[in-house]
Amino acid sequence: MNRGVQLFTYKNYCDESPLEKEILECGAGVFEPEMEPLFVRFARDGYRVHGIDNAEERLANASAYCEKNNIAADLRQADMHAIPFEDESMPFVAAYNVIFHGRKADMRQMAGEMARVLMPGGILFINFLALEDDGNGEGVRVGEGEYEQRHNGQAVIHAYLADDEAEAYFHGLEMVFKEKRVLQRMKDGEWIQQAFIDMILKKP
């Protein structure tokens, strides 16, 4: 999925911040070694970059991309439920197209971990699936707005949120940007509808 506009918006906030240029990407792995991880655009502008992912293969793909393109990055296999960084140690934290692959209780815990490592004045970038997405209601219902679905032959849980639902995950953070996107795109010869809620939050 093209994330260029959303990433550009977030990076503008980071570039304008007086904080040290250092970012942590949660879910930093990629599906192919030719795919550019999100953090690379920051690294190319002089940011110190860190990335975590719990999938060994996807993390290896990100590492291969960095090695091929001379990108310096601290990449670690780790779980977003227990991010391996100290409290308030990161100026910028991003998790894009990542957190909604799971139950809402897990999402709340992961959101809390990202908020924990974000330093005062730091900026967080995250997105969620909205109720208008075609995937909402497909598969086996496992909870309110939660469905077990098949993705690349594997069972995956996706969570779909109401417009203001995610804000409860980030008590104490200030919303500085929020955008709901409902879009249509062609997939396997058919039009599908996707819906996302993008959020940029700042820690006071």
Give 111-123 pLDDT, tens digit per residue.
999 999 999 999 9
Give 158-180 pLDDT, tens digit per residue.
999 999 999 999 999 999 999 99
Whether 139 has a pLDDT exceeding 70, the answer reads yes
CATH architecture under which domain 4-131+161-202 falls: 3-Layer(aba) Sandwich (3.40)
CA–CA gap between residue 60 and residue 11 (Å, rounded): 25
Q: Cite the DSSP H helix spans in the chain.
A: 4-16, 40-43, 56-68, 104-117
Short-list 160, 165, 193, 194, CA closest to 178:
165
Q: What is the pTM of this model?
A: 0.94
pLDDT of residue 154: 87
pLDDT of residue 53: 97
Are the C-beta atoms of residues 85 and 24 closer than 8 Å to each other?
Answer: yes
Rounded mean pLDDT, 72-81: 97
Give the rounded distance of the alpha carbon of 153 from its chain centre: 23
Q: Using a pLDDT cut of 90, give the percent of the chain over it.
A: 94
Whether 89 has a pLDDT exceeding 60, the answer reads yes
Give the pLDDT band of residue 183 (cuts 50, 70, 90): very high
Give the pLDDT band of residue 185 (cuts 50, 70, 90): very high
Are the C-beta atoms of residues 91 and 17 closer than 8 Å to each other?
Answer: yes
pLDDT of residue 4: 74
Whether 22 has a pLDDT exceeding 90, the answer reads yes
pLDDT of residue 2: 54
pLDDT of residue 3: 64
What ranges do the domains of the chain cover? 4-131+161-202
